[in-house]
Amino acid sequence: MTLHIDNWRWAGVPVRLRAGKSLPVTTLEVVVELRTPPRPLFGGPGGVLPPPNLVRLRLQPDAGVELELIAKQPGTGDVATALPLAVDFRTVLSPMHAPYERIFADALAGDPAHFARMDTLTEAWRIVGPVLDPGTPPLPYPPGTWGPEAAAVVPGERGWHPVRGAPRPSPPAPATAAP
């Protein structure tokens, strides 16, 4: 699914979502792939242009933030190298709450700060409602695979491209007929 945020900062930037059940890996992360500069600042290994910088927000299972920056290697050459900068929240902000521990404690204490207001919920349902009832059934795929082949073309004819460090080791499985 491709969404767009209607404000000046994110105008023209596609937000692409991909989800599935019974995939080989259980993970939840947001990866922001920054645009490459209009002209290259330095080359990659073998003269190949370096990949774009990434901002990765890991939500589950190991919460944290990673910046995967492309930087010039020290020395006289103009060669780029990946420079990972990472913060593991469990290490820096421990102790971490167990899932739902904070929300249950807030509910018992009567603290509404971590609960959504009704206008927020109404707007969220306005956005996701049409997605939940698109008029076409979901495409089946075998458990333990990366989903149907048709999901690979969601972003357009170029398809999904590999993101550095993604937990996805193989291409999607071909679609199969429902039993």
φ/ψ of 64, rounded to 5, equals 175, -175
Helix (H) or strand (E) holding 67: strand 64-72
Domain residue extents for the chain: 2-153
How far apart, in whole angstroms, are the C-alpha atoms of residue 67 and residue 91?
Answer: 17
What's the one-letter identity of residue 39?
Answer: R
Q: What is the mean pLDDT of each run of 10 residues along the chain (179 residues)?
A: 81 80 84 77 67 83 86 81 87 81 89 89 87 77 86 66 58 46
Site of tokens 């990866």: 31
Fold of 2-153: Dihydrodipicolinate Reductase; domain 2 (3.30.360)
What's the one-letter identity of residue 117?
Answer: R
φ/ψ of 23, rounded to 5, equals -80, 165
The helix/strand/coil state of 164 is coil
Q: Is the pTM of this model over 0.85?
A: no
Residue 105 half-sphere exposure toward CB, CA atoms < 13 A: 6
Residues pairing with 69 in the sheet: 83
The helix/strand/coil state of 130 is helix
Q: What is the pLDDT, as a whole number, of residue 120?
A: 92
How far apart, in whole angstroms, are the C-alpha atoms of residue 97 and residue 90?
Answer: 10
